[in-house]
């Protein structure tokens, strides 16, 4: 996910004769488009994982999306992620700062909180992320640190995403801000368009949704949800986002799909499925 390299050296002897290969400055690792994961305590099964996606540069920079699952041990258990999103120059940098990152927490009827984010490339080929948010009402500060996010198992950012790997039916958890459907089903067509087998939030349906491959094994996502009387959160809204697949950590399953879509004001939906 992250390009790493070392510096070249010149002559190591004591001769005063100029070397034909003068010392070169070290090649520092830089941040790259792709998918990143971090498992808290290196445990892939406790549900407390972080998933980050950096899309290739387009327009004003890279689009960034994050899903933070860390409620699995709560009482009662909660399995849906907080969503992060932002746009800025990330790829090609050793350290990148986003001055506006939206945090859409896993609570019903709430607006996103706006904060900042810093992305740092680490020497071992991973990425460190620090977020800072200020509660505009209670004035409380909130910091989230992702110390060591790496490429998911079975994911390579050096190839073009393949629609053939995701075509067909997926059944998984569809989340949309404090509410979720555990057995939500989507069907992806060979051209990347997809529909759902039923609605969410009573009347929200997927009728105009499309996944498009990129050169970094990622898919860009664009979907529009038609306005409906009882589709109060997302009706008439357009969401943009990303998706990717990698090797599933679930026994008996082959692939895991992550999908996330965000509105222009930072509200969002997510989907996690194994098959």
What's the pLDDT tens digit per position in 209-231? 999 999 999 999 999 999 999 99
CATH fold group of domain 163-274: Lipocalin (2.40.128)
Contacts for 87 with CB less than 8 Å, ≥ 6 apart? 59, 60, 61, 62, 63, 64, 98, 100
User: What pLDDT is stored for residue 83 in this prediction?
Assistant: 96
User: Is residue 5 pLDDT above 50, yes or no?
Assistant: no
pLDDT classification of 182: cutoffs 50, 70, 90: very high
Q: Which residues pair with 188 in a beta bridge?
A: 168, 194
pTM here? 0.86
User: Is residue 202 pLDDT above 70, yes or no?
Assistant: yes
Distance CA 259, CA 275 (A): 14
User: Is residue 1 pLDDT above 70, yes or no?
Assistant: no
User: Is residue 3 pLDDT above 50, yes or no?
Assistant: no
Q: How high is the mean pLDDT of the chain?
A: 86
Of residues 179 and 123, more confidently modeled: 179
Length of the chain: 275
Determine which of 12-16, 60-64, 184-188 has the lowest per-residue pLDDT on average. Answer: 12-16
Q: Which residues pair with 172 in a beta bridge?
A: 184, 273
Angle at 263 between CA 262 and CA 268, to 5 degrees: 45
User: What pLDDT is stored for residue 178 in this prediction?
Assistant: 84
Report percent pLDDT > 90 for the chain. 67
What are the tens digits of pLDDT across the range 111-165?
Answer: 899 999 999 998 766 899 999 998 766 666 889 999 999 999 999 999 999 999 9
Distance CA 251, CA 94 (A): 37
Distance CA 75, CA 11 (A): 63
User: What pLDDT is stored for residue 23 in this prediction?
Assistant: 63
E-assigned strand segments in the chain:
34-39, 49-54, 62-68, 82-88, 95-104, 113-121, 127-134, 141-149, 168-175, 180-188, 194-196, 208-213, 219-224, 238-247, 255-262, 268-274
pLDDT classification of 11: cutoffs 50, 70, 90: very low
Domain range list for the chain: 34-149, 163-274
pLDDT classification of 110: cutoffs 50, 70, 90: confident
| CB 61, CB 88: distance < 8 Å | yes
Written as one string, the DSSP assignment of 149-217 is EBPPTT--TTS---GGGT-EEEEEEEE-SS-EEEEEEEEE-TTSBEEESS-BTTTB--SEEEEEE-TTS
What are the tens digits of pLDDT across the range 228-258?
Answer: 999 988 999 999 999 999 999 889 999 999 9
User: What pLDDT is stored for residue 108 in this prediction?
Assistant: 72
* Dihedral over alpha carbons 155, 97, 237, 218 (to 10 degrees): -10
Distances 32 to 88, 162, 255 between C-alpha atoms, Å:
13, 19, 23
User: Is residue 8 pLDDT above 60, yes or no?
Assistant: no
| CB 106, CB 71: distance < 8 Å | yes
Determine which of 7-16, 54-63, 84-93 has the lowest per-residue pLDDT on average. Answer: 7-16
Report percent pLDDT > 70 for the chain. 81
User: Is residue 7 pLDDT above 50, yes or no?
Assistant: no
Q: Which residues pair with 193 in a beta bridge?
A: 210
């Amino acid at each position: 996910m992250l390009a790493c390299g070392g510096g070249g050296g010149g002559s190591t002897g004591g001769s005063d004769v100029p070397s034909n290969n003068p010392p070169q400055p070290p090649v520092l690792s830089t941040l790259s488009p792709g998918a990143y994961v971090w498992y808290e305590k290196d445990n892939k099964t406790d549900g407390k994982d972080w998933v980050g996606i950096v899309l290739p540069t387009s327009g004003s920079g890279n689009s960034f999306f994050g899903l933070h699952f860390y409620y699995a041990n709560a009482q009662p258990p909660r399995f849906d992620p907080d969503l992060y999103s932002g746009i800025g120059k990330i790829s090609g940098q050793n350290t990148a700062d986003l001055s506006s990152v939206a945090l859409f927490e896993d609570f019903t009827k709430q607006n996103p909180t706006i904060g900042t984010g810093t992305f740092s490339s680490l020497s071992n080929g991973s990425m460190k992320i620090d977020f800072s948010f200020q509660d505009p009402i209670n004035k409380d500060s909130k910091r989230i640190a992702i110390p060591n996010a790496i490429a998911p198992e079975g994911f390579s950012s050096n190839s073009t995403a393949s629609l053939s790997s995701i075509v067909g039916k997926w059944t998984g958890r569809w989340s949309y801000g404090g509410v979720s459907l555990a057995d939500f089903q989507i069907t992806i067509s060979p051209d990347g368009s997809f529909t759902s087998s039923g609605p969410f939030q009573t009347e929200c349906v997927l009728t105009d949704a499309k996944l498009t491959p990129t050169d970094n094994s990622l898919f860009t996502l664009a979907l529009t949800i038609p306005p409906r009387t009882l589709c109060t959160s997302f009706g008439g809204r357009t969401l943009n986002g990303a998706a990717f697949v990698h090797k599933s950590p679930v026994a008996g399953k082959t692939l895991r799909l992550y999908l996330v879509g965000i509105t222009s004001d930072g509200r969002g939906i997510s989907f996690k499925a194994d098959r």
